[in-house]
Structure 1
Amino acid sequence: MKYSLKDKVNLLSERTRFERNVNRERNSNNLSDLQFALTNHILIKIEYSNEKGENSTRTIEPFALLNTENWLLVAYCRLRKEFRYFRLDRIQKMEYLQEYF
């Protein structure tokens, strides 16, 4: 099923929440790539570092983007088999996979 540009814009606007970042903290260079994956339903693989500095590789289905003090990605994690929050500033590496969800 193909989506028109208008449908993609509507999807992105429904699934992106932004609050003013007063402290100008922790942003990400991956934001536009994640927006593209979200609107095109592209599966992505990330190398992620948690708050303890432990690294893991995750295959995820991006669902929504939120911003409070940090940009957060809401995504279905195939490793954990549930929806999870991922801080964008902790994504070390990201790549598109040749699979759609």
Structure 2
Amino acid sequence: MSPDPASANRLRDLTLLRRVRDRIDRDYAQPLDVEALARGVHMSAGHLSRQFKLAYGESPYSYLMTRRIERAMALLRRGGICPGSSSSPTASRRTRT
């Protein structure tokens, strides 16, 4: 007996949402936006946002910001960066004139 179409669609969406979550986890330091994430799984940005929030309790953007904050906190704990320092991994390079 095959699953009903609604269950099959939900399973497909969950698989795609997991891909989005994995991409955010992997590429959190890169510029990411909901539209690009949605294109990557062939969904509209609105559908992705709604389904992601239903599955994970927060929007894709909120999830991305949480990952970035967690990474920054881990670097601070390890002494990898100093607050306000230009030596942080995300600081822009300055050129001498």
- TM-score, length-normalised on structure 1? 0.23
Where is the helix percentage greater, Structure 1 or Structure 2?
2
Where is the strand percentage greater, Structure 1 or Structure 2?
1
Query: Greater CA radius of gyration, 1 or 2?
Result: 2
- TM-score, length-normalised on structure 2? 0.24
